[in-house]
Chains A and B, each alone.
Chain A
């Protein structure tokens, strides 16, 4: 091999980031604590979402770097699982069950009521930022449906009236598990994978 002058290609070691210092610290800390677990990616994503309320776009390169995998791999996993949220929004997350056992007790009507009462579709966040509505396919409370989960609290036998009460309570509680820093982009509504058409048909009318 002949000696040739080596050209140094500048490596961009620091991924561009719009994360706040606190968010950045949280993501780094999650990565640092969990990266050595076998199959660490899901535990890291869970940890980031638990702390920030969602997994910010700019967390992806940091996680990829910590695990020494590609951006595409992290992005692929992040977008595969319904539970991971990709955008900020909602001080409280309401998961409303759409599955068969709840359908047998009027979940389709409850879903319509919920969307009307909150003025949003699934994956949307109310204008006041209080509530984000997500569908869920079974909460394991099938003998006491219809069921919903507010943050991590399970509630059974939900009537439209009970739904309204629980939402009012959540709004009154105010305090959010993950806090959104000021200047955060407004919560966006993402087109969900869930066809909303199904809501208008079926169920015990």
Chain B
């Protein structure tokens, strides 16, 4: 019998290791023949550690299961599906029937939480490497065409069509080309990259290998943030497994085509999520952004043509090749095709990962999936798309999850992170923090970002202190315009999003004396 206890870092952060140890101990004391599998997380994070028991091929979930709950669950007969276990207060029923999971459309995350992320056999048994098999029968241009036809856009945040990047790299002759995976998932409120790297690392390796075949690149790097040591372990184990299985190396599946892959660790610089900074960092330099052009697709890593894609983008490639571009393209709305793994975070009752086709509204995500706030108070603001995303008020919750619909509101979907705040949030403080964060993380290359962010903190301080507030507000708006249009990259260019959205939608928070009087 199999018992699954997630090895995902989020699950471990609330005690999954202790739960797993308790399961082992209890099973051996009861002389039960139990195989403990450390799977990825299903993404129902408020239920972690969520333990699953496989009975007659059906997995039954229990959660959150602390180590102290384990003996009672064995006693109730959870390994046999006894009535007492099914009625236990932690019993959640068959995993696949849990509405939060059932309502999702899992394409990229199809295997996460189901397989053992360390096991190549498991990956193969669940449809893994079928995309690569197919790619090996295709011409380079055909693979690129499939990715273009799928409508896949960069899932890192900028939503640039992946196929066009690949096409440029394919068309640029060079003695060496590179595939670089941007795994510097620095946006607060996002963890989908982490979950896939920890829960199904082979899918990323497969996606990168296909990208290599498609563009003629023979070397890949995964640039991973240091904050993700669990993902590093999972990736390195999977890469070793892929080499041993002949899926990486000098002749991928004896095709005569080479692809090598390694993980490189970042060192705590948010800016290195910007693709040109990332390349500088990979080259062993300060993570300062580069001027564009030249595009990285033409002169990227070490000056060679380079595909730089986000984890989710690359991890979505295998299913596109396996099931065909049309299958993927069928999901979504408008120019946003396929699915986006959304991440519900912050003050949210049911936080976790929701992979769903574009088009659902933010309100459905927040309430139907998220269940409102964890604190039980009303939702006042949500920040979508990371620290550079706009703060959205209730009046905008009916916006569909679609790149263009968000852009029309001066907001962005970005990497799909949704951070929820209740009615106790001070939006002036959030605006100030956005500038402060930009000041801390600016690479320093361009003046609007380097100086503007520090000045921004000061102006907001004076605005809140009501030192000639109308003048300060005018100054802040002017500064934001300079940053928007004058910055070299998205850090300085988008920091005005959270600042101005807070100012525009929650202006009452900036009028400090009145608020203090009102509450006094």
Contact = CB atoms under 8 A, between A and B. Distances in A.
A16 interface: no
A161 interface: no
Contacts of A153: 12
A160 to B, nearest CB: 16
A98 to B, nearest CB: 8
B268 A83 contact: yes
A144 B10 contact: yes
A43 B440 CA distance: 23
B430 A143 contact: no
A13 to B, nearest CB: 23
Interface in B211-237: 226-230
Interface of A: 38-43, 45-46, 67, 73, 76-77, 80-84, 95, 99-105, 136-145, 147, 149, 152-157, 193-195, 198, 201-205
B161 interface: no
Interface stretch (B80-88, B180-188, B238-246, B360-368): B180-188
Contact of B269 (A40, A81, A145): A81
B432 interface: yes
Nearest to B345: A142
A201 B383 contact: no
B190 A140 contact: yes
B405 to A, nearest CB: 22
Secondary structure at the B interface, as helix, strand, loop or mixed, is mixed
Contacts of A80: 269, 286-288, 443
Given A46-B265, A145-B346, A201 B432 contact: yes
Ranked nearest first, the 8 interchain pairs of A and B with the lowest CB-CB distance are: A202-B429, A143-B351, A99-B188, A104-B346, A142-B345, A41-B284, A83-B268, A81-B267
Given A39-B283, A147-B13, A202-B426, A137 B270 contact: yes
B480 interface: no
Contacts, number: 190
Contact of A204 (B265, B347, B351): B347
A202 B321 CA distance: 47
A34 B441 CA distance: 28
B46 interface: yes
Contacts of B351: 142-144
Contacts of B429: 198, 201-203
A204 B425 contact: yes
12 contacts: A39-B283, A45-B267, A46-B226, A77-B284, A83-B268, A104-B422, A141-B191, A143-B344, A144-B351, A157-B14, A202-B425, A203-B426
Contacts of A42: 264-267, 281-282, 284
Contacts of A46: 226, 265, 267
A41 B268 contact: no
Nearest to B464: A201
A90 B194 CA distance: 28
Given A82-B269, A139-B227, A154-B9, A104 B287 contact: no
Nearest to B498: A100
A6 to B, nearest CB: 36
B437 interface: yes
B485 interface: no
Nearest to B219: A38
Nearest to A205: B424
B209 to A, nearest CB: 20
Given A41-B284, A105-B346, A142 B13 contact: no
A167 B520 CA distance: 37
Contacts of A137: 186, 188, 270, 387, 437, 440-441
Counting chain B residues whose Cβ lies within 8 A of the other chain, the interface size class is 35 or more
A199 to B, nearest CB: 10
Given A136-B268, A144-B45, A99 B387 contact: yes
Nearest to B13: A156
Nearest to A138: B188
Interface in B405-443: 417, 419-422, 424-426, 428-430, 432-433, 436-437, 439-441, 443
Contact of A82 (B188, B268, B439): B268
Contacts of B344: 143
Nearest to B422: A204
A156 B14 contact: yes
A149 B227 contact: yes
Contact of B189 (A43, A100, A144): A100
B375 interface: yes
Interface string B2-13: 000000011011
B374 interface: yes
B499 interface: no
Nearest to B352: A143
Interface string B311-347: 0000000000000000000000000000000011111
A104 B425 contact: yes
Contact of A101 (B188, B302, B433): B188
A186 to B, nearest CB: 25
B31 interface: no
B457 interface: yes
A144 B48 contact: yes
A138 B186 contact: yes
A194 B424 CA distance: 24
Given A101-B189, A138-B227, A144-B351, A198 B267 contact: no
Contacts of A140: 9-10, 185, 190-191, 193-194, 227-228
Given A39-B282, A42-B265, A137-B437, A152 B229 contact: yes
B89 interface: no
A136 B441 CA distance: 11
B456 to A, nearest CB: 12
A42 B188 CA distance: 24
B193 to A, nearest CB: 8
